[in-house]
Structure 1
Amino acid sequence: MNIPIIFQFLKELSANNNREWFHAHRAQYEAARKEFEDLLTVIIARISMFDESIHGIEAKECTYRIYRDTRFSEDKTPYKIHLGGYINAKGKKSNHCGYYVHLEPGNCMLAGGSLCPPSPLLRALRQAVYDNIDEYRSIVEDPAFRQYFPVVGENFLKTAPKGFPKDYPYLKYLQCKEYIVTCYQPDSFFLAPDFLERTDEIFKQMKRFADFVNYTIDDFE
């Protein structure tokens, strides 16, 4: 597991995001991809110690293609400039909350949650928060959780979602359009000798949130 190899390839790819360069450096890409899969293999094994649901998942099931879908994008660069892996007991395309590892020079993160849930599921998640607000607040307002995940969601409504009171005192917990959490980290985080132990701690805190979200999704499905 050699993290610098991953960062070096991604930095060079970012500066040379074209098919000619990529094809000439495919061996470098394959080496970086292997190192990333090795990293995920270790992280999966460590997470499975406190989350049995992901025991037995293989790294290759969690990774994404490096090729970008440029059909509907003004940005026609052909390759992603990051490597990402989503460790999810229900599969990486599931609405369930899992553990996401994202390596991108200058934009690394550990994250998870239910991204872009369909409208009926989003409504169910909001209702679960509304009905169990004390439990939800005990998770997202806990300083141990908030030191890594100060905000739930990235996109928010400007008012109350339909069907919920506008004067609800915890309205901010219902206004997010996706129940996700993100912990951004500098590149140096993944180069430190104790980064696996620190990753464990971050994902242990996230599991409390994931359990709440996934309980609702299981009930919904």
Structure 2
Amino acid sequence: MKSVLDFLSDLGRNNQKEWFDANRSRYEDSKTKVLFFTEIMIQAIRKFDPEVPPLSPNDCLFRIYRDIRFSPDKTPYKTHMGSFIAAGGRKSSRAGYYIHIEPGNSFLGGGIWCPPADQLKAVRWEIHDHPGDFQEILDDPEFNRYFKSIEGEKLKTEPKGFDKDFEAIDLLRYKSYAFGVPVTDQQVVGEGFIDFATSAFTQLHKANRFLNSALDKWA
């Protein structure tokens, strides 16, 4: 994976079409390596999460091309590579597992990021009805080895339709129910990265199972 980090680092300094075209073989090589790692993770995750079907890594890997139509930043390429593993691949609306490879900013994560209103409401109601079950996941020492807190923005007040005096109202204020653990460049290129990612995602499955159950129940 060192060559992947090297390519992305160079891309960050030369984010233009001419440079990318001249280095397309490096991009293709990096893409192949990330797809291979994604395939390994798909097989590992399927051993403990029966919801994840046989997936093509190509369906999980996000495009490196940025959508610049409505962005003031017109650089054409992302300076990271990422894969989302869940039923439906990168287009999934389910809670899943995310691999993010970026020099100095790699991480493993997942859950549900910025879900649409109906899905967010479903998760909130499930937490409302089973706050102890969800808190137990968040407080699990093995889970906490990797995932310290829910990530993303929070409402300043209670969400519409929920009692502000509810005992676990703070858990309902999140706009996402996502989790992440940073990984260093040394970890990404190290021999133990597969084992680390597998262990992290095994723990993340506890949260994903709760979140996907909420989506199914309140659909």
TM-score by length of 1: 0.95
In the other structure, the counterpart of 1:28 is 26
Report matched runs for 1:54-69 at 5 Å: 54-69=52-67
In the other structure, the counterpart of 1:179 is 177
Report matched runs for 1:104-183 at 5 Å: 104-183=102-181
Question: How far, CA to CA, are the matches of 1:168 and 1:54 in structure 2?
Answer: 34
| Residue type at the aligned position of 1:137 | Q
Flag structure 1 segments of 5+ consecutive residues without an equivalent: none
Question: How far, CA to CA, are the matches of 1:27 and 1:35 in structure 2?
Answer: 12
Q: Secondary structure at the match of 2:12?
A: helix
Question: How far, CA to CA, are the matches of 2:187 and 2:174 in structure 1?
Answer: 28
In the other structure, the counterpart of 1:76 is 74
Conservation of the 8 A alpha-carbon contact between 2:55 and 2:89: no
In the other structure, the counterpart of 1:7 is 5
Over the aligned positions, Cα root-mean-square deviation in angstroms equals 1.2
Question: How far, CA to CA, are the matches of 1:45 and 1:194 in structure 2?
Answer: 17
In the other structure, the counterpart of 2:40 is 42
Question: How far, CA to CA, are the matches of 1:109 and 1:137 in structure 2?
Answer: 23
Per-residue deviation at 1:174?
0.6
Flag structure 2 segments of 5+ consecutive residues without an equivalent: none
Of stretches 42-51 and 129-138 in structure 1, the one that deviates more from structure 2 is 42-51
Conservation of the 8 A alpha-carbon contact between 2:82 and 2:99: yes
In the other structure, the counterpart of 1:86 is 84
| Residue type at the aligned position of 1:11 | S
Of stretches 15-24 and 143-152 in structure 1, the one that deviates more from structure 2 is 143-152
Question: How far, CA to CA, are the matches of 2:202 and 2:30 in structure 1?
Answer: 27
| Residue type at the aligned position of 1:119 | A
Per-residue deviation at 1:55?
4.1
Conservation of the 8 A alpha-carbon contact between 1:121 and 1:217: yes
Of stretches 148-157 and 7-16 in structure 1, the one that deviates more from structure 2 is 148-157
Per-residue deviation at 1:195?
1.5
| Residue type at the aligned position of 1:178 | S
In the other structure, the counterpart of 2:201 is 203
Q: Secondary structure at the match of 2:83?
A: strand
Conservation of the 8 A alpha-carbon contact between 1:37 and 1:59: yes
Distance 1:220 1:90, change over 3 A: farther
Per-residue deviation, residues 84-124 of structure 1 (Å, max 9, x unmatched)? 00111233222211111010001101111122211122111
| Residue type at the aligned position of 1:164 | F
| Residue type at the aligned position of 1:95 | S
Of stretches 147-156 and 16-25 in structure 1, the one that deviates more from structure 2 is 147-156
